[in-house]
A = this chain, B = another copy of it.
Amino acid sequence: MISTITLKNKPSIIETATVAGPKEGESRLGKFVDKIYYDDTLGEKTYEKAECKMLSYAIGDVISKTKIKESEIGALVSGDLLNQIISSSFAARKFNAPYIGVYNACSTMAEAYAIGAILVDGGYTDNVIAATGSHFSTAERQYRYPLELGAIRPPQSQWTVTGAGAGMISSRRGNYPKITSVTFGKVIDFGVTDANNMGAAMAPAAADTIIRHFKESGKSPDYYDLVVTGDLGALGSRLVKKICFEKCVDIDRNHVDCGELIYNIDEEEFQGGSGAGCSAVVFNSYIYKKIIKKEINRVLFVATGALLSTLSTQQGESIPAIAHAVSIETEG
């Protein structure tokens, strides 16, 4: 069965909103982000509450930018990295809209866009918000070590992005970027067990979805101006290009990775950015604005997720991964 879903009505992404922390704000893509907070607590008592606040702001901002009433929103599709996706659920509490909680780790941005696009494409509702985010300090202390420990980071590691992004998918017509197809990912596990090497764990899943997308859609990589992966980082990006190349799908020329793009290059974050907020911020700011300005017209957005937990790692499991792809196109 063909798993790439072509959307006949091509729902529009009529607006996006992004929020980011200090490190992201000062980095090379900071100027594309709507709101930057130089205090990464956002005035909250805990980092978890700060993460939720960022996500709430992104959702609230996309609503106010579009002037769509909360009662006109058919669904808020959101998830995040915290246990029981509390950032999303607590953010959803603030909005009078149906809520669909989703989780596919750092691929959640593409997953949410994919589900939202189907809801709008099928005529089930007119407006859906897709949103996610992450926070360095919540992810670090939930997945790795207490912040106070100052654990040394290995060179294959990435830096969780403090940021959130939201997009409004709508049946509204006009000169907006359109979601034209969706390829849901399969869970792929190549047996990587190093929880500090997410790029290696996720690259095979990204390659699987990318290859499947091209095989099923009949398109070639050249069709797209950009093939944007989520947060593979520098090493993972090299791996995904290598795997695709070996399978005769050459994305070398037009591949970029949100994790590679987001930060200035310094040694602290090694392979680049990661976290659900990574692709959420980069796609909904930099990439979306490039599409709006017609600098690029066709993008395959492939957010990637590592489906582990601290407990699965403790129990000796390897790291399953997934990648969902969404194609976004605009008339040139």
* A72 close to B1 (CB less than 8 A): yes
* B115 close to A124 (CB less than 8 A): no
Q: Shortest beta-carbon distance, A51 to chain B, in Å?
A: 11
Q: Among B73, B101, B118, B311, which residue has its beta carbon within 8 angstroms of that of A82?
A: B311
Chain B residue numbers with a CB within 8 Å of A103 are 79, 84-85, 101-103
**How many copies of this chain sit in the oligomeric assembly?**
2
* A101 close to B99 (CB less than 8 A): no
Centre residue among A101, A125, A310 by max chain B CB count within 10 A: A101
Chain B residue numbers with a CB within 8 Å of A99 are 104, 184-187, 322
For residue A14, CB closer than 8 A to chain B, the reply is no
**In the bound complex, how far is the Cα of B45 from the Cα of A49, in angstroms?**
36
Q: Shortest beta-carbon distance, A323 to chain B, in Å?
A: 11
Known contacts A79-B103, A99-B187; is-contact A122 B125 (Cβ 8 Å): no
* B100 close to A101 (CB less than 8 A): no
- Count class of interface residues, chain A: 35 or more
Chain B residue numbers with a CB within 8 Å of A175 are none
Q: Mark A85-127, 1 if CB is under 8 A from B, else 0.
A: 1100110110011111111110000010001001101101110
* A105 close to B92 (CB less than 8 A): no
Residue of B nearest to A188 (CB): B93
Q: Among B98, B105, B184, which residue has its beta carbon within 8 angstroms of that of A100?
A: B184
Chain B residue numbers with a CB within 8 Å of A311 are 48, 82-83, 86
Chain B residue numbers with a CB within 8 Å of A97 are 186
Q: Shortest beta-carbon distance, A133 to chain B, in Å?
A: 16
- The interface stretch among A28-36, A253-261, A264-272, A312-320 is A312-320
* B90 close to A317 (CB less than 8 A): yes
Using a CB–CB distance below 8 Å, which chain A residues touch chain B? Answer: 1, 3, 5, 45-46, 48-49, 71-75, 79, 81-86, 89-90, 92-93, 96-105, 111, 115, 118-119, 121-122, 124-126, 184-189, 307-312, 315, 317, 320, 322
Of all A-B residue pairs in the complex, the 3 with the closest CB atoms, nearest first, are A122-B122, A98-B184, A89-B307
